[in-house]
Structure 1
Amino acid sequence: MSHSISPHENLSGSVAIEKIKHITEGSGTCFFSTHVNGDTKSRPMALQEVDTEGNLWFLSDVNSDKNHEIFSDSDVELYFMNHSKYEYMLIKGKATVSQDKALIEKYWTDFANAWFDGKDDPSISVIKVAPNDGYYYETKQNKLVAMSKMIFAAITGKSIEDGGIEGKLEI
């Protein structure tokens, strides 16, 4: 039986925030998961920014199910995947919703016109996710090297380092 392993490197504070910025901004979108009556509901969301404190920012319709679910339970999970680079991240945090015009102005993009009637649309809200913790996995080498190592382990049955690194994130 082959075992491919990844070294662990747990990160905290500003180092964890930099890792969050690197992986999430490389991905650009995530599955944004809320909790309702014991069920998890997920939908794709475009990330606007990770700020210097590690908060993740999104635009959303104030009348969306997601926003109503956040008002009921502010615990959310964000799942980011940049498959082309083998970078993956889970962020757990607390979400808050705001209709602050300055924040809407800051995070507005032309891409948002697909969902809203311009940045003055009264249904626009900004969601801030303040991360508590998370987990990441990324390749240390390029994707081809990592895949080659995993294939070698599968064929030979030998344990090898899979070319990745993973660990907990504490903010």
Structure 2
Amino acid sequence: MNQEELRNKILDVLKNQKIGTLATVKNNKPHSRYMSFFNEDFTLFTPTDKDTHKAEEIAENPNVHILLGYEGEGLGDKFVEVEGQATIRDSDELKKKIWSDSFSRWFEGPEDPSYIVLEIKPTMIRLMNAGEEPQVLEL
């Protein structure tokens, strides 16, 4: 598959799959948890609380790994692996942009001072189980 086809397949996964795992580094070991993700031109955003372990871990080591897309239907489910660098963002504009009422379970609103956004800039995106060998998107 060419890079344009690969790009479109990856965008399809990112558009339709919002829940995945985020792995950070804690004591030189991976530490994973489920998160919700929002995509904008392959940059991923996920909300979190500023006082969480993940925020501390990213402040110490910004390298992250994300899995998105596996639906549990079988071994042929396509998914993406994203390696990237995470940055903690506290921009009011960004927080409002990705705000969802579902976040009100954890935050009082987009102005909540505990609410921050993790921005993940990919260094590698790999499409898995799409009927071919794993394919890496050229970024």
The TM-score bracket by the shorter chain reads: 0.7 to 0.9
**Distance (Å, rounded) in 1 between the aligned partners of 2:50 and 2:29:** 21
* Equivalent position of 1:44 in the other structure: 34
The answer to whether residue 89 in structure 2 is matched with residue 135 in structure 1 is: no
CA contact under 8 A between 1:58 and 1:127: conserved in structure 2? yes
What is the rounded CA distance, in whole Å, between the counterparts of 2:51 and 2:135 in structure 1? Answer: 36
Alpha-carbon distance in 2 for matches of 1:132, 1:18: 18
Asked if the contact 2:6/2:135 (under 8 Å) is kept, the reply is no
- SS of the residue 1:70 aligns to: helix
Do structure 1's residue 169 and structure 2's residue 128 form an aligned pair? no
Which one of 61, 71, 80 corresponds to residue 59 of structure 2? 71
Structure 1 residues 15 and 57, CA gap change in structure 2 (3 angstroms): farther
Residue equivalent to 1:97: 88
TM-score between the two structures when normalised by the length of structure 1: 0.72
Matched, 1:56 2:24: no
Q: Distance in 1 between matches of 2:21 and 2:35?
A: 6
For these two proteins, the number of residue pairs brought into alignment is 135
Structure with the largest fraction of helix: 1
Show CA shifts across 1:29-61 (max 9, x none).
1100001222100000001x2112x20111111
- TM-score (structure 2 length as normaliser): 0.87
Gaps of 5+ in 1: 1-8, 140-163
Q: Percent identity?
A: 24
Question: Which has the greater radius of gyration?
Answer: 1
Q: Give the distance between the partners of 1:10 and 1:91, measured in 2 at CA.
A: 19
2:136 is paired with a residue whose SS is: strand
In structure 2, the gaps of 5 or more residues are none
Residue 24 of structure 1 deviates from its aligned partner by 2.2
RMSD over equivalenced CA pairs, Å: 1.9
- Structure 1, 130-139 or 65-74: larger mean CA deviation: 130-139
